[in-house]
A = this chain, B = another copy of it.
Amino acid sequence: MGTSAAVNQIYAHFSHMTGRFLSVRRKTEDLCLPLTDEDCCLSVMEETSPPKWHLAHSSWFFERFVLQKFKRGYESYRPEFDFLFNSYYRRLGSFVPKFKRGVLSRPTRDEIYQYRHFITESIMGLLETIKPEDEGKLLKALEYGINHEEQHQELLLADLKRNFFENPLRPQYLGQVFSHSEISENKWQTFNEGPVKVGIPIEFQQFSFDNEKDQHQVWLERFQLASHLATNDEFLAFMDEGGYENPRFWLTDGWDLKEREKWEHPIYWEKQGQNWWTMSLSGMIPLELSAPVAHVSFYEASAFAKWKSARLPTEAEWETAARLEKKVGVFLENGPLEPIPSQENHQVFSQIHGSVWEWTQSSYRPYPRYRPVSFGMTDDNEKSMCNQFVLRGGSCLTPTDHYRVTYRNYAYPQMRLMCAGIRLARDL
C-alpha cells in the first residue's frame, strides 16, 4: 500500500471515528431526555449508579485517558471530578464508593451537561490539532472511550429500570405499546463433535476487548442447541411445577440464596389477581407469554435448564452456533427496550443476537495466551475473572454498534440487573 493510500485510509478511519464519537456522545444525552432532574440523581442500591453519574463518568473517561494524555498542558475541568467520577480504577487513586453515588445531588444536572459539552468540544479540538505520530494511539484511546460509553448506555437504562422498580409508583421512562404474538416453536439443532475456533485473533485490527483474545481451538463433543430462547410461558410452567420450591433443580449456592432472599419468580414479575405483570421501561406491563424470559439470574437459568432435563451451553458451543446467524436482532436502537417475541427473521437460531444476554455455563476465565490490555487506562479485565459466568449475545439495551459475536459479557450468578435470559443446550 502506497503512502498516500495509507494516509487516505487513516483519514477515513479518523473521520469515521469522529463521527462515531459525536454520535455516541449525543445518544447518551438523548437517552436522558425523558428524565426529570430528580431521576438523574436516583440510585438507591449499591448495584446501580444514577444517570447523572453515568453521564459524568463517561466524560471523565475521555478527559482522563484522552485529553490528559494527548493534549499538551491540559488542565482538569474541575479537579474534584477526578475523584467524583472515577469508578473502580483503583490504580488511579481513591474514588467515591459505589453505594455513595446517590448522594451527588450536586453537581447539578446542568453542571454535568456543561462538563460533557466541554469534554466533547475539547476532544474535537484535539482531533484537529493532533500530531501525526500520536494519531494511532489517540484513535485507539478514542475508540476505547466510545466503547466504554456505549457500555454505560446499557447500564444507565438497566440501572434506571431497577431503581424505578423500587418506587411504588413504578414510573414510566417511555410509553411503549406492546402487541401480542403467537409462540413459535423451539427446535433442537445438532452439532457434531470436532474442533472449533473461539475468540478473536490477537493480531486482528477491529476493536475488541482483551478478554475476547486470543483466538484458540476448543474441542466440542456432540451437542444440541435450542433454536429459540426460553419464553415467559415456559418459565411460568417451571414455576407452576414448583420450580422455586424443589431443591432438586438448584445449585446449592443458588438454593441458599433463593431461600434467604425469598425469590419466588423473576425479579420484575408481579402477580395482580390472576395475571402476571412485569416491570419494563414503560412501567408495569402485562407479561407477554411468547416473549423471552428476562432478568433471570444464572441460578434461575440453571434450575430451569435442569427442570427441562437440559443444560446451559458453554460459550464455545454458543459462539459456534451464533456465527451461523447474521447480526440482526432487537438492540437499543430498534426496539422497545424490552425483549419481544421471536420475529422469525433468522436462519436457524432465533434472537441469538440482541433481545437478551444469554447465560452460558462457562466461568469467566482468561482465554489461552490472554494478555491484559489496559493501555495504562484501567484495571484490566483479568481482575474480574473469578466467580462470574459468561453471558453472550447482547440485549435489547445494547447499542448495535457495540456488539459482535465474540463479545463476552459476565456477571455473578446471583445478578438479575442485566436483561439476561436462557437458551438451552443438551448432550446427545
Contact = CB atoms under 8 A, between A and B. Distances in A.
Interface in A258-304: 298-299, 302
Contacts of A368: 221, 427
A171 interface: yes
Given A90-B247, A103-B166, A365-B363, A108 B219 contact: no
A313 to B, nearest CB: 12
A254 interface: yes
Nearest to A254: B386
Contact of A427 (B91, B369, B413): B369
Nearest to A368: B221
Interface residues on A, range: 35 or more
B387 A171 contact: no
A333 interface: no
A250 B383 contact: yes
Interface in A31-82: 36-42, 44, 52, 80
A91 B248 contact: yes
A142 B80 CA distance: 47
B38 A105 contact: yes
A102 B105 contact: no
A74 B352 CA distance: 55
A383 B250 CA distance: 7
A386 B363 CA distance: 9
A251 interface: yes
B385 A251 contact: yes
Nearest to A44: B103
Interface string A349-391: 0000000000001110100110000000001001111110000
Interface of A: 36-42, 44, 52, 80, 83-84, 88, 90-91, 96, 100, 102-109, 163, 166-169, 171, 195, 216-219, 221, 247-248, 250-255, 298-299, 302, 361-363, 365, 368-369, 379, 382-387, 413, 427
Give the top 5 A-B pairs by smallest Cβ distance, nearest first: A363-B363, A38-B105, A37-B37, A38-B41, A103-B166
